[in-house]
Amino acid sequence: MENLIEIRDLSKTFRVRQGGLFDRHTVLTPAVRDVDIDIRRGEILGCVGGSGSGKSTLGRMILRLIEADDGTITYAGRDLRALPPEDLRQHRRRAQIVFQDPLQSLNPRRTVDENVARPLLNFGIRPAAAARRVDELLEMVGLDPRQSHRYPHEFSGGQCQRIAIARALALEPEFLFLDEPVSALDVSIQAQILNLLKRLQVELGLTYLFVSHDLKIVRQFCDRTMVMYRGKLLETGSSEAVYRDPLHPFTQDFLGTVLHARRDEAWQRAAERAEDLEGAPPDMAGDHCPYAATCTRRVARCTTAEPLLRPAAPGRAVACFLHESPADVPSPQPRTLTPTGATA
Amino acid sequence: MTDRSAAPARRAPRRSNLYFVWRGVLGDPVARIAAGIIAIMVLAAAFAPWIAPWPPNAANPELRLMPPGTPGHLLGLDNQGRDILSRLIYGARLTLVCGIVPVLIGAAISIPLGLLGAWYPLLGGVIMRLMDVLFAFPMALLAIMLAALMGPGVANMMIALVVTLIPYNTRVVYAAACLERDQAYVEAARAMATPDLKILFIEMLPNVVAASVVYSCTIIGAVVITAAGLSFLGLGVQPPTAEWGIMTSEGRSYIFNAPHIAAIPGISITILVMAFNLLGDSLRDSLDPRTRLRLVRTAKDRT
């Protein structure tokens, strides 16, 4: 499968001004650091990681809602970061976003049809044609077009998310960035929305970048999974392989906390390690693995150099010295690598 | 309950904002009274020559300082023997114009300023620092200074009031717009290539205008009083023109032997200010789609 999006060395650092009148200083918060990832046409790429791991920032950079600092994003062969304004406008037709909070992502003072018609009107479609298209879109996401004169707050969360999906699809995009689209919904509604997204993906041939902190959903829903931690991409691979056999110690801890409901002491410690995302940053200067401070399998190199993302098995890559080459592995691992079925 | 259930196959009619403002105001008894008071004042001002029993400046010196209830003069007479009711009716014209017009013009200038300032941080810094400079002066003092610079006259007074009002309303709109700016629907608007000005004036404006409407209704009272103050200083409306503020200040010399001269226009100003404040509250509710359906429903249940 060809790559729709190729991301190389993508970085973004937020500058936050702090302090009062006399003691002003700028705090640099790296959100995404040197991420390399390809998104293939027609796949669902899941992106997991705790809060603050840069998942949303990554997606917003693909949509150019946030400007990257460094690196390249190639979208269908074109350098996204160098698009002139008119081309950026056209890019908006091809890549769209669905937000976490469905109610907030719709303008509360505009009716549903006004909300959904806005992208159409932006691209010069006449109001009458836009109105017909709005009805079509609402039917496509399973809503009654006769209700479209109502305001978003009159709909439930799941219905609002359907409206938001209809709006995102209005311009017939090929790529959707789904920013935790079901996190704010009830479990029963989650399944409905996921089924809808899956059906639309197949029918319309869409490509998804699906961000979530709900690992179970990513496992079921996504073809491939990428794992992020503190802005670094730690591991990629087919969802099946990553979940069955996580390579990076962080992934192991992270998956262990959520997927294995063991209530023993080891589980507790792993949970604490994986949850400690915004806790004290590792007290290390210079290059080091982002997970080195809490990793239980840390080796000497982890605190002095930063591991790069290296292929570990067919279709998989991991940024960890333990998997860099057999010679670097300090102790034999109890687990075995299972490369079968690792290609997406 | 609604006509939608009667004909489910048909689209329910689109309700305009005006419909909801109308229903909302009618549905709320307090707002109904407030709107009624304002309507009476506006009508009285519009049809003053037909309603007022006497011309506003016709003096009858024999009856000067007579209290309310004097035959032929329902609300009494002032220090020159002019009929207070007639002057009150004629005075409503300038009082309403001086109170409402500067607020409307001020809002028309402040809303774009606040929105643009919230959207473009650099421009916003410049605008808000300019507003801070204007804020440094007390409202009345700034109005006096500007009116004195431009010379007396109703038009100059209104310009002075507009300039005085802009910083307050701009700050209200700016604060509301800064909150809206970070909402997801604004980011969604950017993602669907909505031009900046459309984001500001189509998407964000309906969400910030409520704050400005409520604030404008509240400030009308202060403007009426400031206008009266300017007129009293000889910078605004010139005597013997009837205007409530001038009438109040003229009556202050007789506050002990004929208190009604100052009290009647003063109470009228108070009622006007309160009516606008209450109407502002109701307008905020009826302009918000999240609360106005409830207003309409309760109105329907009652009838």
Q: What angle do CA B76, B77, B80 make, to 5 degrees?
A: 175
Per the omega criterion (within 30 degrees of 0), is the bond before A85 cis?
Answer: no
User: Would you put residue A172 in left (φ > 0), alpha (ψ -120 to 50) or beta?
Assistant: left
For residue B174, the model assigns a pLDDT of 94
Distance from CA of A23 to the nearest CA of B (A): 20
CB atoms within 10 A of CB B6: 8
Judge residue B256's burial from the number of C-beta atoms within 10 Å of its C-beta, 0-12 exposed, 13-18 middle, 19 or more buried.
Answer: exposed
Question: What secondary structure does DSSP assign to A320-331, as a single string?
Answer: -GGGT-GGG-SS
Question: Contact A96/B203, CB-based, under 8 Å?
Answer: no
For residue A331, the model assigns a pLDDT of 45
Mean pLDDT score, B282-288: 77
Task: Kindly tell me if the per-residue pLDDT of B104 is higher than 70.
Answer: yes
pLDDT in tens, A72-129: 999 988 888 888 989 999 999 999 999 998 888 999 888 999 999 999 999 989 999 9
Option in A97, A122, A146 nearest B194 (CB): A122
Question: Contact B11/A146, CB-based, under 8 Å?
Answer: yes
Distance from CA of B140 to the nearest CA of A (A): 31
For residue B1, the model assigns a pLDDT of 38
Distance from CA of A78 to the nearest CA of B (A): 19
Residues in chain A where the model's pLDDT stays below 50: 278-280, 327-344
What does DSSP assign to residue B68? T
Q: Does B302 touch chain A (CB under 8 A)?
A: no
Q: Give the Cα separation of A18 and B234 in Å (integer).
A: 50
Would you state the structure tokens that stand for residue A173, as one six-digit string? 């995009």
For residue B117, the model assigns a pLDDT of 94
For residue A338, the model assigns a pLDDT of 45
Q: List, in order, residues 6 or more apart from A208 with CB less than 8 Å away.
A: A43, A44, A45, A175, A176, A177, A178, A197, A201, A222
Q: Give the Cα separation of B18 and A47 in Å (integer).
A: 46
For residue A222, the model assigns a pLDDT of 92
Judge residue A22's burial from the number of C-beta atoms within 10 Å of its C-beta, 0-12 exposed, 13-18 middle, 19 or more buried.
Answer: exposed
Closest residue by Cα to residue B227 from B150, B160, B280: B160
In chain A, which among 203-262 make CB contacts under 8 A with chain B? none
Q: How confident is the model at residue B6 (pLDDT cuts 50, 70, 90)?
A: very low
Would you state the structure tokens that stand for residue B189, as one six-digit string? 């608007």
Tell me what the pLDDT averaged over chain B comes to. Answer: 83
CB atoms within 10 A of CB A18: 9
Question: Contact B188/A154, CB-based, under 8 Å?
Answer: no
For residue A328, the model assigns a pLDDT of 46
Q: How confident is the model at residue B17 (pLDDT cuts 50, 70, 90)?
A: low
Question: Contact B184/A99, CB-based, under 8 Å?
Answer: yes
Q: How confident is the model at residue B118 (pLDDT cuts 50, 70, 90)?
A: very high
Q: Give the Cα separation of A288 and A292 in Å (integer).
A: 7
Q: How confident is the model at residue B250 (pLDDT cuts 50, 70, 90)?
A: confident
Q: How confident is the model at residue B9 (pLDDT cuts 50, 70, 90)?
A: very low
Crossing angle of helices B154-181 and B139-150, rounded to 10°? 140
Chain B neighbors of A105, CB-CB under 8 A: 184-185, 187-188
Distance from CA of A279 to the nearest CA of B (A): 26
Distance from CA of A234 to the nearest CA of B (A): 28
In chain B, which among 260-299 make CB contacts under 8 A with chain A? 288-290, 293
Identify the residue among A61, A96, A118 best suited for mutation to test binding to B, counting B beta carbons within 10 A and taking the highest: A118
Q: How far is CA B17 from CA A189, A318, B177, B215, B276, in A?
A: 33, 57, 21, 19, 20
